[in-house]
Structure 1
Amino acid sequence: MGETAAAAFVLQADQLGHETVIQWGWIFLAAYLILILFLGYLGYRRVEDGMGGTSAQDEYATARGGFGFLALALAYAATVASGATFMSIPGMGYDMGFMAGYYAMIYPIGIFLGALIVARVSKKVSDRFNSQSVPDLLGDRFQSPALRVITALLSLFLIFYAMAQISAAGWMFEVILGVEYVIGIWVAGLLLLIYLAAGGSHADILTDAIQGAIMIGITFLIFVMFVTGWGMDGGISSVNAALESSQQWDQHTDSDNAIFPGWWAIVLLMVAHIGFTAQPHLGNKFFAIKSNRYIRRFLLVTSLVGIFLPVMFLGGVLGAAQGIEVADPDAVIPTLFVENIHPIMAAFLGVAILSAIVSTSDGLVISISQIFANDLYRKSYVPWKGGDPEAEEVQQRALLISRISTIFIVFIAVAAVISPPQYLVVFMWTGIGGIIASFGGPYLVGTLWRRTTKHAALAATVIGFAVYFYIHLGPQFGVMEGIWPLNENPYASTGIGLIVSAVTTVVVSFVTEPPSDEHLEKVFSAEQRLIEDDTHDGAPGGISASESDD
C-alpha cells in the first residue's frame, strides 16, 4: 500500500481513537471465545469417542493419528512461532534493529532441520510402544525407565516457556483491550482452561491450525508495511536511514551485545535450535499425524510456513524507525498496529496475535500435564508397584490426573509472571535450554544411529544439563557468576550443551552394550514389516497395512 493510503489510515485511526480499538477488541475477543468453546467441544467429543488412540487418555495426550498433514503442519508452525515470534523477536528488532534478523531468519532453519531428523522415527516409536510424550518415547526407544523419569523431570522446565507465553498475552490485553497487565494474564489463563481441560491435544491442534493460518496473514501485513515504509517518507531505505547507526542493516555483530557478540554465537544459535524439537510440546505433534506416509508433505508445508513467520521481526524494526515509544519492547507490534492502521483492523490483528500466543501455551500445558499423568504415574509409578499401565482403571485415572494438573499448571504459570520478565524470548530459553542441552543429543543421535545405547542416553542427559547449568542456568539463578557472554546468552549456551550431549552419546555408545536386534527391529523397521509381527503379538498402537512408508 502506498504512502498516501498509509497516511489516510493513520489519520483515520487518530480520529477514531484508541477507545474504538478497545471496543472492537472485546467484540473480536468474544468471537474468538465462541470459536475456542466450539473447538474445545469438538476436542472433547474426539477424546471421548476415540479416534486413533488406544484409550481416552491416549486421545487426550496425543490425538494419535487424528490429523492430516496440512492441519498438523499449520499447528506445528504456529506452536513453534508462539508469542516469542510475534512479540519478543519484534521487541529485539525494536531494540537491536536489523541485527535481530539473524535470530529471526536462522532459528527456523535449525528447528525444521531437527524436525526432519526425528519426525518419522518419533511417529513409529510412539505408535508401536504407545508412547504419549517425548520422555515416554525416549524411555521406550532406549528401554530405560530411569531415562523416562529423568527426562520427564527436566521437562518441568517447560513451565518457564508457558510463563513467557502468558506474559506476552498480558501485554496484548493491556495494549489492545485496555486491561491492566495483571488482569490480562489471568484472563489468558482462563481462556486456556476453557477448552484444554476438556479437549486435550485434539483441542490444542484444532485451535493451533486455525491460528497458524491467521499468523500467515498477520506476517504478510507486517512485511508489506515494512517494504513500503509505512507511515514514513519512502520505502525500505527510509526505514534504515531513520534507525540509529548501531541498528542499521550493515551492523552484523556487536562485542558488547551478549546475544550477538560474534559469528560464533550466531552459529551456536542455529545449533541450539536443531535440538528445539526435543521439547515435549513439539515432539508429541508427530504422534498426531495419520501416517508416516504424510510426514514428507507435513515437513515441507510446516517448514515453508515456519520460515516465513519470523519475518515479524521487521515490524519491530519499523516501529523503531517510526520512533514509536513503548513501555516494554515486547509491546511494539500491538502499539504499531494501534498507531498506524484503522482501529477496527488494529483490534482484529491484536486479538489475532493473542490467539497466536495461545497456540503455543496450550501445547505447553498439555505436555506438562503428561509429565504427571503419563510419564511419572502411568509409565513409572504403576509398573513400579507391579500394575499394568494399559489397564482401563489406570488409563481413566491418568486422564483425570491430566485434566486436574492442567488447571494447576495454568494457575502456576500465571501467578509466576505477575511481575513481567524483560525479553520474553530470553526468559523462555532459561527453561527450554536445559531440555535441549540434556536429552536433545540422545534424541537426535538415537534417531539417526541404531547403536545408540541407553547408558549413553543417560550419561548424555546428565552431562549435557550439567554443562548448561554451569555456563548459563546457574549464573541466571545467582548460584555462580559465570563467563560472559555465555551467562547472558541462552542460545550459545544451549548450543554448547547440545554438542556436548551429542558427543557424549556417541562416545559412551561405543563402550557400552548395544540394544538387542529384536528391539531395534521394532523401532526402525518399516510399517509393512511390523504389521506381520503385530498379527501375532497384538502389540499396542499397531499400524494398519495401508500405512506403509514412502
Structure 2
Amino acid sequence: MNAAILGYYYGLWGTLAYATYYLSFLTGGLIIDSLRFRHNCNSIQDFLRQRFGTVGTRCYNLVIGVRLISEVFANLLVFGLLFGAVGSQQYIGAIALFSLLTLFYAGRGGLHASLRTDVFQMGLFLAVLLTLVALMLGHSEFSTTDFLFKPFEFSDPGAVLIAVALLQVISYPMHDPVMMDRGFIADRQTTQRSFLHASWIGVFCIILFGLLGIFAGAHAQSGEAMNTVLTRLLGEVPMLLFSFSLVISAMSTLDSTLSSAAKLIVSDMKLGVESVDNGRKVMVLFMLAGLIMIYLGPKDLFSAVAVSGTASMYLTPVILFSLWGGRIDIPVWSYLIAFVVALAGAGLYFAETAGYLQLMEPLFGTVHKYNKLLIICLIVLTVGCSAFALGMLLSRRKLASVTYSTGDA
C-alpha cells in the first residue's frame, strides 16, 4: 500500500524509495551472521548486554516496543483505508473486524502459526499481484511512458525519500523483530540464502505493486483518490483483488508482529512468567496500543515507517562501530546520546506530521515532510556516530594515560 501510494503521488521515484527499504534484508542478513557466528550471541539483547549492560537492552527494548506498536498501527490503518474514508463506519468496522480476526488466530498459534500462514499468504498475494499487473499491462490506456509521468529531480519528494531510505537501511533491520526473530531459527547457510532471496523477492514485489499506483497517478484527474482512479481504469472485480491482496499482506504482517511482541515482553524482557497465556495478554495489549495510535496519530501510512525507522538510527553507530567494527571500548554515555537524539528525532517527526508541532519550517525553511525527515535523519546519524567516535577516542586516551602512568611507576 505504501509503495502504491508513493508511486501515485511521486511516480517511479516514490516506489523505488520504498523498495530501497527492502534492501534491509541484505543488511539484516549481515547483522544476523555477525551476531550469531562472529560474536556467538543468541539474540540482539545478548550482544547489547555484553557491550552496554542493562542500559543497552532497556533502550533497545523500548525502541522495539515503538516499532511493534507502529507496525500494528500501520496494518490496522490499511484495513480501514481499504473499506472506507477515515472516521466512517466502514473504516471503524473494518479495523475492528480484522483486528479481532488476526488476534484470534495469532493468539492460537504464535510464531509457529505465523510462519505457516506466511507461506500460504505469500502464495496468494503473489498470484493476485501478477494478475493485477497483467491486467494493467494489457489495458488500452497503458503506456510505458506512464512510469515516467513524474520527472526525476533531486528536490523531488521521491528522490529525497530514496536518500532517507539509504540512511536508514543499515539500522532498520536490527530494530525489526519480525525479521530478526527469523534469523535465529535455521542453520547458517539456510539463513544466509533466506535473507538474500527475501531481498530481491521483496524489492520485486514492492516495485510491481508500486507500478499500479504509478499507473493510477499517470491517469488521475484533479482531486481523485488512488483507489477511485484504479477502479475507473481496471473495474470493480480487479479492485476487489487489489483489496484482497492488501488484506492478505496486512494480516500476514500483523500476526507476525503480535508474535514478536509476545516474545519480546515474555521471553526477552522476562516481564512475568513465560507462558502462552501471558503471551496472548501481550498480544491484546499491543493491539490496543495500535488502535489508540489509529485515533491519535497521523493517517499517513508511511509515518509508521518513518517514525520507527528514525528511532532505529541510534543503532547505526552500534552496528558500524561495535558489531561490524568489533570495538569494545565504546562507553555507555555514547550509546545513550545516540539513543536520546534518535528518539527525539522520531518524536519530532511524529509531532510535525500529526500537526502537534511546527519547528522545522521556521528553523530550516523547508515545508515538505520528507525534506524535514531527511534533515532529522542526517542530524541523528551525525550526532550518534560522533558520540561513538568521541567515546572511542577518549577511551583510547584514557587507556594510553593509564599505560603511561604504570610504565612510569
- TM-score tier by shorter-chain length is 0.7 to 0.9
Q: TM-score when scaled to structure 1?
A: 0.61
1:222-268 alpha-carbon deviations (Å, 9 max, x no partner)? 4434444x241x5323x36xxxxxx724x11374x5x34xx666334
2:406 corresponds in structure 1 to none
Q: 1:465 aligns with which of 342, 364, 367?
A: 342
Counting only pairs closer than 5 Å after superposition, residues 4-83 of structure 1 correspond to structure 2 as: none
Task: Rate the CA distance shift 1:91–1:324 in 2: closer, same or farther, 3 A.
Answer: farther
1:107·1:269 contact (CA, 8 Å) conserved in 2?
yes
CA shift for structure 1 position 269: 2.7
Task: Rate the CA distance shift 1:350–1:475 in 2: closer, same or farther, 3 A.
Answer: closer
CA shift for structure 1 position 187: 0.9
* Secondary structure in 1 matching 2:192: helix
**Count of residues in correspondence between the two structures:** 385
- CA–CA separation in structure 2 for the residues paired with 1:406 and 1:186: 15
Unaligned 5+ residue runs, structure 1?
A: 1-86, 241-246, 383-393, 514-550
2:282 corresponds in structure 1 to 405
Task: Rate the CA distance shift 1:368–1:506 in 2: closer, same or farther, 3 A.
Answer: farther
Q: 1:509 aligns with which of 379, 392, 395?
A: 392
- CA–CA separation in structure 1 for the residues paired with 2:14 and 2:76: 23
- CA–CA separation in structure 1 for the residues paired with 2:178 and 2:252: 12
The question of 1:253 aligning with 2:163 is answered no
* Secondary structure in 2 matching 1:319: helix
The question of 1:276 aligning with 2:172 is answered yes
Query: How many percent of aligned residue pairs carry the same amino acid?
Result: 14
1:95·1:320 contact (CA, 8 Å) conserved in 2?
yes
Task: Rate the CA distance shift 1:295–1:156 in 2: closer, same or farther, 3 A.
Answer: closer
1:29-59 alpha-carbon deviations (Å, 9 max, x no partner)? xxxxxxxxxxxxxxxxxxxxxxxxxxxxxxx
1:465·1:497 contact (CA, 8 Å) conserved in 2?
yes
1:455 corresponds in structure 2 to 331
* Secondary structure in 2 matching 1:182: helix
Q: TM-score when scaled to structure 2?
A: 0.79
1:181 corresponds in structure 2 to 91
CA shift for structure 1 position 376: 3.9
CA shift for structure 1 position 318: 1.2
- CA–CA separation in structure 2 for the residues paired with 1:369 and 1:377: 10
Query: How large is the RMSD of aligned CA atoms in angstroms?
Result: 3.5
1:336 corresponds in structure 2 to 230
Task: Rate the CA distance shift 1:438–1:302 in 2: closer, same or farther, 3 A.
Answer: same
Counting only pairs closer than 5 Å after superposition, residues 260-299 of structure 1 correspond to structure 2 as: 260=158, 266-299=162-195
CA shift for structure 1 position 498: 3.6
Unaligned 5+ residue runs, structure 2?
A: 397-409
1:294-313 alpha-carbon deviations (Å, 9 max, x no partner)? 23311221112011012111
Q: 2:55 aligns with which of 146, 150, 157?
A: 146
Counting only pairs closer than 5 Å after superposition, residues 73-472 of structure 1 correspond to structure 2 as: 87-109=1-23, 111-124=24-37, 130-131=42-43, 134=44, 136-142=45-51, 144-158=53-67, 159-174=69-84, 180-228=90-138, 230-232=139-141, 235-237=143-145, 239=146, 248-249=149-150, 251-253=151-153, 255=155, 259-260=157-158, 266-311=162-207, 312-323=209-220, 328-329=225-226, 331=227, 336=230, 340-341=234-235, 343=237, 346-378=239-271, 394-396=273-275, 399-418=276-295, 421-425=298-302, 427-453=303-329, 455=331, 458-459=335-336, 461-465=338-342, 468-469=345-346, 472=349
- CA–CA separation in structure 2 for the residues paired with 1:439 and 1:274: 9
2:401 corresponds in structure 1 to none
* Secondary structure in 1 matching 2:274: helix
CA shift for structure 1 position 471: 6.2
Q: What letter matches 1:88 in structure 2? A: N
- CA–CA separation in structure 2 for the residues paired with 1:471 and 1:337: 37
